Amino acid sequence: MIRVPEHDGNITRTPTVSIIVINRDRPELADQVVDQIDRMGAGLEKSIYVVECGSRRPEGCSRRMTHWFRDPGYRGRYYGFHRGLEIARLNGKADFYWFVVNDISFPDGQDVLAELVGAMNEDPKMGLIGPGEPEADDYEGCHPKPGRRWHKVATVHGLAHLIRGEVIDTVGYMNPAFRYSQGAGAEYAYKLYRAGWFLSYSDVATLHHAGSSTYGIVTKISRHEYHRRARKFATRYLEKTYGANWDELFSSALPPEIETNMFPKQKEIWGRELQRDWKEVCPWFWSLGSMVKKMLRN
């Protein structure tokens, strides 16, 4: 049985895990990942909450749906996770909380959940851990290496992060104001390190991210427009809240053994403003222009 750290020392009991899976109009993806989670969690007492973030009913909802809330404009991943967390905690606190998006999959036969909890159990100051992502080309530090179980990192992707219950009790969860996700993880990592916790990636448990499969379906905007808005919001929010040199402030909270500090790179990427595609934002204007041109030619 897995040992669970308690305030009055280590005791042996069955750890509890609340699992929050969010979905919006991609039931086939949500069904697949929840079916995989069903087969995980050896030695754990788990509760699964499948939260529909304004999905079309019934065709957009997972067959495993437990809750639905109205969200016509789609307020994003972290708003959905917040709603799921509120629902889960109505049934009592858990030792761990696992926040899982719908557009990922795990290796067949791998008990990712049990591995993440087992890694957490090795160090009581590990506040958050995520599965490694071997195929990622845009997120440094998430690639597994042989010969180790986990490694400390500055930030962790928001795809399937496991968070210790005590962290949720004392620090809270990520800021739901980050409608377009980018920046939320950086701010949260800073808050955890400042509070004495650390973040890590697993070198054993992994995932595959489908990624672009949801653009235009869930967000109703293109990948380009999504990233344009995400960069703009992250840059403005972080500079307003933490100052122009927020990356230096965040970096100052990191311990020396961190392999890759993503904060400077994130600041540089988010600071590169993307141009608005007016044909996407105002299609009626371009359609009207085309009609005028045709009329003039005739």
pLDDT of residue 294 exceeding 90, the answer is no
Tell me what percent of the residues of the chain surpass a pLDDT of 70: 84
pLDDT tens digits along 81-125: 999 999 999 999 999 999 999 999 999 999 999 999 999 999 999
Q: What percent of the chain has pLDDT over 90?
A: 69
Reply yes or no: is the peptide bond before residue 58 cis, omega within 30 of 0. Answer: yes
* Topology adopted by domain 3-222: Spore Coat Polysaccharide Biosynthesis Protein SpsA; Chain A (3.90.550)
Phi, psi of 234 (to 5 degrees): -60, -45
pLDDT at 5: 46
Residues in a beta bridge with 67: 51
**Residue 181 confidence (pLDDT):** 77
Measured between alpha carbons, how far is 83 from 67 in angstroms, rounded to an integer? 10
Which tens digit of pLDDT belongs to each residue from 146-162?
999 999 999 999 999 99
How far apart, in whole angstroms, are the C-alpha atoms of residue 108 and residue 254? 35
The 3-class SS string of 54-100 reads CCCCCCCCCCCCCEEECCCCCCCHHHHHHHHHHHHHCCCCCCEEEEE
**pLDDT tens digits, 200-222:** 999 999 999 986 555 445 556 68
